[in-house]
Amino acid sequence: MTQMAQHRLIAAACALTLWLPAPSQAAETEQLIDTPFMELIRDRAVHRDLGLANTQVESLRELTDQFDPKLFLTRNRRDDDRRKQVHDLVMRIRPRLKSILSPTQLRRLTQIELQCQGPRALLRPDVQARMLLTKPQLESIAEAVTSTNNAAHDAWKQIQEKGRPRSAVQKQIDRICSTEPRKLLRLLNGKQKQQWRSLIGRPAAVSEFGRGLKYKAPEFVTGMTWINSPPLTMQSLRGKVVILHFYAYG
């Protein structure tokens, strides 16, 4: 992964607010770390990296189609609720991939996911176990991540409170976030750094990810009053050009 690509990934994750749980709650940690899993399993660039056959791609599409309506409902949730709901969806989907991907492909998918999450993935319970991270290390990692989050949050507030241009604030946040990976990796000993490099594997073409992703549109809510039309369904509109106008009251 290029340094610039890694910076973009970390910047995208800077909205996280992480909390370090007690050891008995370690299994919940993954819920508090954003994961690109739901995007990666439908990304054509990832499919090429994994070397998927057309039948495997079709099976993945059928799987994501089943869960996309539930994924859509997470979009307007608060960050903590959204993260938990997405985590629950991911936990339901992961076991099903065993019947679609080979063990080698599953391992590579995990490597790509870790690369996208960056060193923040050190707070994942499975990574913690593999890395044999100590409690002081975990506390320092959480403190560093929280510091980044707070600095990024304060920077965004300047858009509303001081009217600073969004582009200027984004550059400031990029600078803040770009230093985080080095800070986190410095908290590891030599053996742990080697283990981290082994976990993330060879660099993926991260800069190519996220292009042309497709999601299944949710069905219209039943019981609505339709104007100038009988009730429609997404299935009845399949193959047609449709313009949807969304609006909401703030």
* Domains of the chain by residue range: 3-208
Taking the CA of residue 21 as centre, how many other CA atoms within 13 Å lie in the half-sphere pointing to its CB?
15
**For residues 61 and 50, is the Cβ–Cβ distance under 8 A?**
no
Asked whether the beta carbons of 199 and 114 are under 8 A apart, the reply is yes
Vertex 139 angle, CA 133 and 144, to 5°: 110
pTM, full prediction: 0.77
pLDDT values of the chain reduced to their tens digit, one per residue, 250 residues: 444 444 444 444 443 333 334 444 444 444 456 789 999 999 999 999 999 999 999 999 999 999 998 898 888 787 778 888 888 899 999 999 999 999 999 999 999 999 999 999 998 888 998 999 999 999 899 888 888 888 888 888 877 677 778 888 888 888 888 899 999 999 999 999 999 999 999 999 988 998 888 888 778 878 888 888 888 888 888 888 888 776 665 4
3-state secondary structure of 116: helix
Contact 176, 148 (CB under 8 A): yes
